[in-house]
Amino acid sequence: MTTNNVVLFPKQTVVNQEVSPKEHDRTQAFKDHFEYIAILYLWAAAIILFLAGISLAWNMLAPEKWHYLSDAQVTKLQALFTGGVLVGVLSSHFKKHIG
Query: Has residue 4 been placed in a domain?
Result: no
Q: Name the more confident of 5 and 79.
A: 79
As a whole number of angstroms, the distance between CA 68 and CA 66 comes to: 6
Query: Has residue 89 been placed in a domain?
Result: yes
Query: Has residue 46 been placed in a domain?
Result: yes
Query: Has residue 60 been placed in a domain?
Result: yes
Query: Has residue 39 been placed in a domain?
Result: yes
Contact predicate 30/38, CB 8 Å: no
pLDDT, tens digit (0-9, with 9 covering 90-100), for 8-20: 555 555 445 556 7
Structural domain boundaries enclosing 34: 24-98
Query: Has residue 12 been placed in a domain?
Result: no
Query: Has residue 75 been placed in a domain?
Result: yes
Q: Name the more confident of 30 and 19.
A: 30
pLDDT of residue 62: 92
Residue 31: pLDDT band (50, 70, 90) is: confident
pLDDT, tens digit (0-9, with 9 covering 90-100), for 32-87: 888 899 899 889 988 988 999 999 999 999 999 999 999 999 999 998 888 877 78
Number of structural domains found in the chain = 1
Query: Has residue 6 been placed in a domain?
Result: no
